[in-house]
Copies of this chain bind each other. A is one copy, B any other.
């Protein structure tokens, strides 16, 4: 390892100050769906190399400084969790939910044909709208009910307008703001009633994909429901210092978009070309240490904490609520100062608090106090 010079004292100080600032911000962040109880220091040594998972994780590449074998294990474990047939399904670790959604919608468009129409609800993540524009989709944005779930009547109405065309439908398995879930079952029933036989259903399960499988009575959404692709984040419930996500779909679908690249000796079937080889290690490590059992406990403890927060809000006369099997607690928007203090996430008149288990009851009491001071003032 040869450096031409060391970091100067002032730059070193700069880094130290940044570290302290991030530490303090990190401790007060309660509005984002980020599990920050992790320690991946055992993996840092892999950052000595220029690791790169370029290409398809299930194919070989000439570039060998890669963690494809680890990535394959991770994919297989989640295929099992989401009832995906391991012989027929396929997936990869992406740079985040946006890439996963872009990938799934691209695959959906190529499988359905260019005359397809895209449907998604107005509470969908902003990456759906962005990908729709990048990928030049014809689209219909569907209304939602008061809790954030797709309005099935409006979906039926809008679908009927395009009943002679194939449909690509993106469902929210937990919306970002209220944690509301759209039902693949109801959507499939409507597709059948309207007579749209060519359809591709993608489930955006960014946060709740790692919640619902662990909660009794939670909404059903996996491959056994007849969906075509799904994705969920690695940096949310699992916890990761670097954003990442996993997208799963059928092999026969990804084959529609793959091509081979001779000079790297690889099959190109992902959106990214060169790919992060560290994040698959992170997810693998989390599965080997916390494990699915551990995440089940974290998730259920967090939901118990959500109910505690709702009770605390009610005690001071604030109406707080949550959707089924979700740890997103929604309440009226407090002052901008309080929003920034706790890094809350506002939309319209509401905001939310996410009770992941790094939150303590003491912190929740403090937040309730700050919000009550703001809201009961007016």
Contacts and interface: CB of A to CB of B under 8 A. Distances in A.
A121 interface: no
Interface stretch (A162-170, A189-197, A265-273, A368-376): A265-273
Contact of A48 (B241, B257, B265): B241
Interface string A238-270: 011111000000000000010101111100100
Q: Sort chain A's interface into a size bin.
A: 35 or more
Contact of A25 (B36, B65, B243): B65
Given A240-B50, A241-B46, A63 B32 contact: yes
Contact of A134 (B5, B38, B42, B106): B106
Given A41-B44, A97-B273, A106-B134, A278 B241 contact: yes
Contact of A126 (B5, B99, B259, B346): B259
Interface string A338-351: 01100111111000
Contacts of A345: 62, 263-265
A261 to B, nearest CB: 5
A31 interface: yes
A86 interface: no
B265 A346 contact: yes
B274 A243 contact: yes
A159 interface: no
A277 to B, nearest CB: 8
Number of copies: 2
Interface stretch (A221-229, A283-291, A307-315, A317-325): A283-291
B346 A272 contact: no
A176 interface: yes
Interface stretch (A16-24, A139-147, A150-158, A211-219): A16-24
Contacts of A285: 7
Interface string A8-37: 100110010011001101100101101111
A377 interface: no
A370 B1 CA distance: 27
9 contacts: A3-B289, A12-B42, A18-B70, A19-B45, A62-B343, A95-B99, A126-B261, A130-B273, A263-B347
A291 B26 contact: no
A264 B42 CA distance: 32
A281 to B, nearest CB: 8
Q: Which of A50, A52, A264, A290 has its CB near the most chain B CB atoms (within 10 A)? A: A50
B47 A40 contact: yes
A287 to B, nearest CB: 10
Given A6-B289, A22-B65, A26-B65, 12 more contacts: A2-B37, A4-B290, A18-B69, A18-B70, A22-B49, A25-B65, A29-B64, A38-B50, A47-B241, A97-B274, A262-B348, A263-B346
A18 B136 contact: no
A67 interface: yes
A235 interface: yes
A82 to B, nearest CB: 21
B38 A23 contact: no
Interface string A95-117: 11111001000100000001000
A297 interface: yes
Contacts of A45: 19
Nearest to A106: B134
B62 A50 contact: no
A233 B126 CA distance: 27
